[in-house]
A and B are shown apart, each in its own frame.
Chain A
Amino acid sequence: MKRGFYPSLFLALALAYPLLLSTPFQQRLGALVLLYAIGASAWNVIGGYAGQVSVGHVMFFGCGAYASLACYVHFGWPPLLGLPLGILASIGIAALIGTPTLRLSGHYFSMATIAVAELLRLVVTNIELLGGAVGLSGPVMPRTWLDLSFTSALPYYYFFLAVLLFVLWVTWRMEQSRMGYYLRAIKDNERAARSLGVEAGRYKLYAFMLSAGLTSIAGSLYAIMFGFIDPESGLGMLTSVKMLIMAALGGAGLLFGPLVGAVILVPLEEISNTLLGGKGAGLTFMAYGAIIMVIARFYPSGILKLLQDRLRPSAGGRQSDVA
């Protein structure tokens, strides 16, 4: 089978999905899967490829979401125009956190990301301009098509699909570049990589800034689709958890790992929320905790890697037949 077979199959299925399964619930579910796949793929750049586990990635998601809606509320701009501002803010924050902590052992980085995300949540809750504890709302009625405010989930679905393809393309280019090789070397053995002249701190910082900017896009898209953001949905740690678990379950450090994770987990979460209501949220995150522990204990490289390893012995078998 050719290398591009599975990606092409996925693309064909993704393009056809909302036409085959066309109820509003199914279309909305599809859009959500793609949105979380964007967030998890963005996390994957620093968490998977660079091996630096950010547990506060929601701060970049929040930057994008708040930038979009703050531009609408204060200047009357379409929320989409806030997207680049969110990216800039995210890259700035990533540089601020990454510069001191990425030189230290990975634990410091993880602790710092938790603390900064929580700090931002507290600060934003106390800033009236950003809506305080109440939050910000987007346009109620679309003024022009630029507001990207639709009642159907279908336009969002194809928009998110395009963005996801862009994010995956950027990640793939990074993977193939010199930086991708450096990151792999750093993740394998940082000391060895350093001794060969790889500036580990600098490349980890680049990866963090790239990851932050891409995550911010996911936040802006969320704000555009839902038209509402508050400190809990935009800066609460559960969104960080979702990005992290989807990437880790699917396969951290693999291009399509986060997508696989999102395809598995988002429907499960939506269904459990529909069936169990508010009480279900506790159960869902309990299950997430258990899943994360099982991944860490037994399959730190994720499901996709497991599948690849399963497929490989059969390929090996065929080769021996030829010989």
Chain B
Amino acid sequence: MSLSLVQILISGLLLGAVYALFSSGLTLIWGMMNVVNFAHGDFVMIAMYTAFIIWKLLGGGPLLAMPMAAVVLATIGIIAYLGLVRHIMRGPMLAQILGTFGLALLLRYGMFWGFGANFLSLPEDLVGGTFEWQGLRLQSSRLLGGGVAVALTLGLHFLLTRTSLGSRMLAVSEDAMAAQLMGIRPDHMQAVAWALAAGMTGIAGALIATFFYISPTVGENLAIVAFVTVSLGGFGSVPGALVAGLLIGVIESFSGYLIGAVYKDIVVYVLFIAVLWLRPQGLMGKN
């Protein structure tokens, strides 16, 4: 393989790891309570603005922005769950979809109103700029993003499969009524899931902000990327989201190289429709 292809592969994997991180929040909530959070992309957007504000006010980089964005988003997640999602999740389909969709609009146009439609960005050398290694040009910000993202996605997987909290959450997702009879409060576990999912999304947003433009509508595209990742990876599967995220990052990176940057979004959206046609249960999902 030539060097430039390796370069494209690596940048695709690094991007895909971040996709996997914020999609794992979506898949966790979907898997636990059968709710699709249509505001998920806008959660990422809010985290990106949080990172921007922290840099503007405190001059802090992602090491400060990640925990703070996680706290901000986890708070928003809990409020969204307690104030909205808990009440609509057993209602008609119309209410379920409209609820989080309305939240998405409120967040998106709230930021539009507050910050205007201008594209903002963090300084390129905030995370050490670009360096060469074995002839490959690597951006530190993307390397940091990819590394943290893989670690956190795997961390979430282990939290769900190896700890007592994870077992209680899985019990609620299997059968909320039975879990309640075993002394687990489904309400608490679902609130924890929202805090966890939104918090991870916050970290992902703070990472993306270091190498991507920030605008009120950026969440719309990111939401579709998350939908593709989750459908490809399979309903509620965190390892599935990791594999699918990496795959989509690589596909996007190669299609940007082969047919032009304008068309790479088109390729990802077509992929989504193809997945819905051919394998809606995803690569690793159960039927």
- A118 contacts which of B102, B113, B269 (Cβ < 8 Å)? B269
Q: Is the CB of A300 within 8 A of B92?
A: yes
> Taking the complex as formed, is B262 at the interface, i.e. its CB lies under 8 A from any CB of chain A?
yes
> Taking the complex as formed, is B94 at the interface, i.e. its CB lies under 8 A from any CB of chain A?
yes
> Taking the complex as formed, is A15 at the interface, i.e. its CB lies under 8 A from any CB of chain B?
no
Q: Is the CB of A292 within 8 A of B98?
A: yes
CB distance from A253 to the nearest CB of B (A): 8
> Taking the complex as formed, is B133 at the interface, i.e. its CB lies under 8 A from any CB of chain A?
no
> Taking the complex as formed, is A154 at the interface, i.e. its CB lies under 8 A from any CB of chain B?
no
Q: Is the CB of B36 within 8 A of A123?
A: no
In the assembly, what is the distance between CA of A51 and CA of B98, in Å? 12
CB distance from A252 to the nearest CB of B (A): 6
Residue picked from B94, B99, B276, most chain A C-beta under 10 Å: B94
Query: Could you say which residues of chain A place their CB within 8 Å of the CB of B108?
Result: 285, 289
CB distance from A227 to the nearest CB of B (A): 26
Q: Is the CB of B97 within 8 A of A110?
A: yes
Q: List CB contacts (< 8 Å) of A270-302 with chain B.
A: 279, 282-286, 288-297, 300
Q: List CB contacts (< 8 Å) of B84-132 with chain A.
A: 84, 87-88, 91-99, 101-110, 112-113
In the assembly, what is the distance between CA of A300 and CA of B87, in Å? 11
Q: List CB contacts (< 8 Å) of B27-48 with chain A.
A: 30, 34, 36, 38
In the assembly, what is the distance between CA of A248 and CA of B110, in Å? 22
In the assembly, what is the distance between CA of A175 and CA of B172, in Å? 40
Q: Is the CB of B98 within 8 A of A282?
A: no
Q: Is the CB of B280 within 8 A of A286?
A: no
> Taking the complex as formed, is A129 at the interface, i.e. its CB lies under 8 A from any CB of chain B?
no
Q: Is the CB of A282 within 8 A of B112?
A: yes
Query: Could you say which residues of chain B place their CB within 8 Å of the CB of A172?
Result: none
Query: Could you say which residues of chain B place their CB within 8 Å of the CB of A233?
Result: none
CB distance from A293 to the nearest CB of B (A): 4
Q: Is the CB of A100 within 8 A of B280?
A: yes
In the assembly, what is the distance between CA of A65 and CA of B83, in Å? 39
In the assembly, what is the distance between CA of A117 and CA of B158, in Å? 37
CB distance from B19 to the nearest CB of A (A): 15
Given A110-B36, A237-B220: A244 touches B266 (CB 8 Å cut-off): no
Query: Could you say which residues of chain A place their CB within 8 Å of the CB of B227?
Result: 111, 114-115
> Taking the complex as formed, is B231 at the interface, i.e. its CB lies under 8 A from any CB of chain A?
yes
In the assembly, what is the distance between CA of A248 and CA of B106, in Å? 17
Closest residue of B by beta carbon distance from A100: B277
> Taking the complex as formed, is B178 at the interface, i.e. its CB lies under 8 A from any CB of chain A?
no
Query: Could you say which residues of chain B place their CB within 8 Å of the CB of A52?
Result: 93
How many residues belonging to B are interface residues under a CB distance threshold of 8 Å?
Answer: 46
Query: Could you say which residues of chain B place their CB within 8 Å of the CB of A100?
Result: 276-277, 280
Q: Is the CB of A293 within 8 A of B106?
A: yes
How many residues belonging to A are interface residues under a CB distance threshold of 8 Å?
Answer: 48
Q: Is the CB of B94 within 8 A of A252?
A: yes
- B94 contacts which of A122, A126, A300 (Cβ < 8 Å)? A300
Given A104-B280, A115-B227, A286-B106: A296 touches B98 (CB 8 Å cut-off): yes
Given A115-B269, A252-B94: A107 touches B109 (CB 8 Å cut-off): no
Q: Is the CB of A293 within 8 A of B102?
A: yes
- A119 contacts which of B223, B273, B280 (Cβ < 8 Å)? B273
Given A122-B266, A285-B109, A295-B98: A53 touches B93 (CB 8 Å cut-off): yes
Query: Could you say which residues of chain B place their CB within 8 Å of the CB of A82?
Result: none
Q: Is the CB of A289 within 8 A of B84?
A: no
Q: Is the CB of B38 within 8 A of A122?
A: no
Q: Is the CB of A108 within 8 A of B276?
A: yes
Query: Could you say which residues of chain A place their CB within 8 Å of the CB of B106?
Result: 286, 289-290, 293
- B105 contacts which of A53, A111, A285, A300 (Cβ < 8 Å)? A285
Q: Is the CB of B220 within 8 A of A293?
A: no
In the assembly, what is the distance between CA of A288 and CA of B94, in Å? 16
Query: Could you say which residues of chain A place their CB within 8 Å of the CB of B211?
Result: none
Query: Could you say which residues of chain A place their CB within 8 Å of the CB of B93?
Result: 51-53, 106
Q: Is the CB of B102 within 8 A of A289?
A: yes
Given A107-B97, A115-B272, A296-B88: A122 touches B102 (CB 8 Å cut-off): no
Closest residue of B by beta carbon distance from A290: B106
CB distance from B119 to the nearest CB of A (A): 16
- A108 contacts which of B84, B94, B102, B231 (Cβ < 8 Å)? B231
Q: Is the CB of B92 within 8 A of A293?
A: no
Known pairs A112-B273, A244-B98, A296-B98 / 6 extra A-B pairs, C-beta < 8 Å: A115-B272, A118-B224, A118-B269, A282-B109, A289-B108, A300-B94
List 11 contacting pairs A-B, 8 Å CB cutoff, sorted by A. Answer: A53-B97, A114-B227, A115-B228, A115-B269, A122-B265, A285-B109, A289-B102, A290-B106, A296-B95, A296-B96, A296-B98
Interface residues of A (CB under 8 A from B): 47-48, 51-53, 55, 97, 100-101, 104-108, 110-112, 114-116, 118-119, 122-123, 126, 187, 237, 241, 244, 248, 252, 279, 282-286, 288-297, 300
- In the A-B complex, the 10 residue pairs with the closest CB atoms: A292-B102, A289-B105, A289-B106, A296-B99, A293-B102, A282-B113, A300-B95, A285-B109, A119-B269, A296-B98
